[in-house]
Amino acid sequence: MKYLTRTIWILSLVSLFNDISSEILYPVMPLFLSSIGFSSVLIGLLEGCAEATAGLSKGYFGRWSDVTGRRLPFVNAGYLLSAVSKPMLAAFTNPLWIFSARATDRLGKGVRTAARDAILSDECTPENKGKVFGFHKGMDTLGATIGPVIALVFLYYYPAHYTWIFLIAFVPALLGTLLTFFVKEKKIEPSTKPSFRLSQTFDYLKTSSVDYRKLVAALLLFALFNSSDLFLLMRIKQSGFSDQYVIGCYILYNLVFALAAFPLGHLADKFGMKKTLLFGFSIFIIVYAGFGFNSSFAGFVLLFMLYGIYAASTDGISKALISNMVPKTETASAIGTYSGLSSIMVLLASTLAGIIWNYVSPEAVFITSAIGVSVVVMFLFSLQLKEK
């Protein structure tokens, strides 16, 4: 595995530590926010603002990275912002402060994501890009498996000690941030455009290739039907199962995701990234249709395992495919534009899912998504894409 360079290993370890930190908080945040008086509406507003912050900043900072020809400063700053946000949550419980802390965390994600993915892309060739992105995503998701386990063990012995959870989460986040300073970036030529304004965040779409725009259109249409995973967890809870079962399914999903990401990246390099995406989206249809009709715990376990296969087939692979379709000097802009727009679409999808959940039925949320993604699969299948 000579293609797994020192830089790829370091960035993968950084993602592992950062996801341990983030996912320690995943099962805790709703409990913590409720304990300090946040209503469900305020929690939804908080997460919506956080998602919008991440979405808008990904495109902006990705473009800035290409304009300056620099990657590493954005990676350093992005992980540092997210690390600092963890102890911020432990400091005060004022709603405005909580909003600021969550915005800082998501801003950090927006600052680093496109630049980090561009470094990964520069470290590999089109022939092994699926394996590299799959390996990185596998390490990232391994952290997402370890984090909730740490939180569950801690809360088992120290119930409701939420402040300490935020301080514990700061430790792996800080370790990941320190590791970023050992990354050596390759020099690239800056963009010919010397500067740009915030209003031009998504202007890359105007100058990008037709194939890139077609692929992004398909991926964004998919994102419109892919609401937050919170609805999957809510579906288990709504079926009468305890919090332990809910979090257990989430851990199982992340474990399958982590184990499958690298092998599926290898298959993507061998059989084609578009085919792998189509496979993943087809699994998504099965999973969401299953959530629409299933009510047994054994069924949910199977569906979450399949959901891990879907995620491993699509998450890193979509970025790898995008990076194969654009020049190296535009990688951060291309991935940042897609990631930013995708975050906004997920926010819309989650809002629509919430409306359908409340005014129609929970089952209708998943059946609607399954039908919508079926259309996306047909659209993506019809596309003739040229990779560089």
Quick one: pLDDT at residue 229?
82
Average pLDDT, the chain: 85
pLDDT band per the 50, 70, 90 thresholds, residue 192: low
What does the pLDDT average to over 304-321? 90
Task: State yes or no: pLDDT of 193 exceeds 60.
Answer: no
Q: Supply the pLDDT for residue 178.
A: 96
Model confidence at 253: pLDDT above 80: yes
The pLDDT-based confidence of 373 (bands split at 50, 70, 90) is: very high
- Flag whether pLDDT at 189 surpasses 70: no
What would the mean pLDDT of 178-205 be, rounded to a whole number? Answer: 71
Contacts by 228-232 with C-beta closer than 8 Å and gap 24+? 228/47, 228/346, 228/349, 228/350, 228/353, 230/350, 231/350, 231/353, 231/357, 231/362, 231/365, 231/366, 232/291, 232/304, 232/307
CA atoms within 13 A on the CB side of 284: 28
Cα 350 to Cα 282, 355, 366, distances in angstroms = 20, 9, 12
Residue 195 pLDDT > 60: no
- pLDDT at site 1: 65
Residues in the chain: 388
Split at pLDDT 50, 70, 90, the class of 15 is: very high
Predicted confidence (pLDDT) at residue 360 exceeds the cutoff of 80 = yes
pLDDT (0 to 100) of residue 129: 81
Judge whether 22 and 102 are in contact, CB under 8 Å. Answer: no
Q: What is the mean pLDDT of residues 188-196?
A: 58
pLDDT at 80: 95
Render pLDDT for 80-114 as a digit per residue (tens, 0 to 9).
999 999 988 878 778 888 888 888 998 999 899 88
Give the pLDDT band of residue 59 (cuts 50, 70, 90): confident
Confidence bin at 387 (pLDDT 50/70/90): low
Model pLDDT for residues 131-157, shown as the tens digit of each residue: 888 888 889 888 988 998 898 888 888
pLDDT of residue 44: 63
Q: Which CATH class is domain 6-181+204-382?
A: mainly alpha
Query: CA–CA separation, 301 vs 85, rounded Å?
Result: 33
pLDDT of residue 27: 67
Q: What percent of the chain has pLDDT over 90?
A: 31
Q: Given pLDDT bands bounded at 50, 70 and 90, which one contains residue 40?
A: low
Q: Using one digit for the tens of pLDDT, what is the confidence trace for 256-311?
A: 988 898 888 888 888 888 899 999 999 999 999 999 999 899 999 999 999 999 99
Residue 241, both tokens: 């199962």
11-39: average pLDDT: 83
More confident residue, 135 or 40: 135
In whole angstroms, what is the distance from residue 59 CA to residue 270 CA? 30
Confidence of residue 200 (pLDDT cuts 50, 70, 90): low
